[in-house]
Amino acid sequence: MNTERSPQLVFLVGFMGAGKTSVGQALSRRLGWKFEDLDDRIQTREAQTIEHIFRMAGEAAFRIAEREAVRELLAEVAASPRVVALGGGAFANPETASLLQGAGFPTVFLDAPVEELWRRCCEQAFERPLRQDLDQFAELYHRRYPHYLRAALRVETGGKAIETIATEVANVLDLG
């Protein structure tokens, strides 16, 4: 990360239920920046829901759409500073991770114990295409974990309030 100037983008990465959207919204309020959930951009670009893309075209097609949405977002960097919540698999996709890391903006891995991530996902009202059962969920988490560790920073979210996590992220990025 370039320490001479404030970043214009901050990317939050992590598994399902890590708090990327909730923390991202709180962090953007704190910084006075725009918040963007990459999944929302994908759904707008593709004119269909994430679930529909997975069901009709499969995960590979979704990952291509996700990568193109990241390219588009990076091209807009001068538009306004923003906090971006990435989907759980974005940083585990080598091409997308390479785009993000090559852009030079900070990536923050939000992490929590897998049991807490599972509980949070089960409490949410919307469906997640890759959440099936706890064993499959844990296996996917462990498969993606080494990719998440390539993020510039790691912040533990387990048992913490959203505002506390947002403050911690801002402080760690020296944006406090």
Output the CATH code of domain 9-171.
3.40.50.300
What does the pLDDT read at residue 133? 77
pLDDT (average), residues 60-65? 92
Instruction: Answer whether residue 61 shows pLDDT above 60.
Output: yes
What's the mean pLDDT in 144-172? 95
pLDDT tens digits, residue range 108-120?
999 999 999 988 8
pLDDT reported for residue 156: 95
Tell me what the pLDDT averaged over the chain comes to.
89
Residue 141: the pLDDT is: 95
Burial of 86 (0-12, 13-18, 19+ CB in 10 A): buried
Alpha carbon separation from 38 to 57, 70, 136, 164 (Å, rounded)? 19, 8, 24, 23
Collapse the DSSP code of 85 into the 3-class scheme (helix H, G, I; strand E, B; otherwise coil) and give the result: strand
| pLDDT at 3 exceeding the cut of 60 | no
- pLDDT confidence bin for 128, thresholds 50/70/90: low
**Furthest-apart CA atoms within the chain: distance in Å:** 46
1-10, 14-23, 121-130: the lowest-pLDDT one: 1-10
Model confidence at 2: pLDDT above 70:
no
